[in-house]
Every structure is written in C-alpha cells, then in structure tokens.
Amino acid sequence: MPTVANLDGVKIVIHNGDHRPPHIHAIYSEYETLIEVETMKAQAGYLPAKQLKKAIDWLTGNQELALSVFYELNPQLK
C-alpha cells in the first residue's frame, strides 16, 4: 500500500491489484474514503470535511501523478 502523499495527517494511498475506476484512498485516523481520480468525487467511505478538502485539493494539483501511479501499480487496467 504505497503512500503517495501525506498532508497533515491525511495519507493519500494507491493500492496495487486494485479495481476500476482509477482512484485514490484518503486515510485520516480511523476514517478512509475512496476518491475517483477523473471526477474527484468521493465514492465510498467517509472523511471529515476538512480532511476531504485537503485530499481533493491535492488531487486537483496532482491528477496526472495519481493516474500514473495507479496504472503503474495496476498495469492490467490500462
């Protein structure tokens, strides 16, 4: 479970052996949410609003990086 970024306690993680659509996992304390890379919408789980905003702000500036890492770890989904 490679951590791509750490934003004041919010970990941005991308798993290998994962599923479509390309997404990141944002983890904060006991909370976790899945955010689609292309739509930047939370699809599953829960993150407090402040931490969700940090994760989406990071994704807004790092969308290409997130897609690149997702497909590097999951080449069968390309």
DSSP state of 16: S
Whether the upstream peptide bond of residue 21 has omega within 30° of 0, thus cis, is: yes
Residue with token string 């807004």: 60
Three-state secondary structure call for residue 61 = helix
- pLDDT at residue 1 in the model: 65
Domain ranges of the chain: 3-77
Residue 2 has pLDDT above 90, yes or no: no
pLDDT digits (tens, 9 = 90+) for 5-56: 999 999 999 999 999 999 999 999 999 999 999 999 999 999 999 999 999 9
- pLDDT at residue 70 in the model: 97
Widest pairwise Cα distance in the chain: 34
pTM: 0.93
d(CA 41, CA 71): 19
- pLDDT at residue 46 in the model: 98
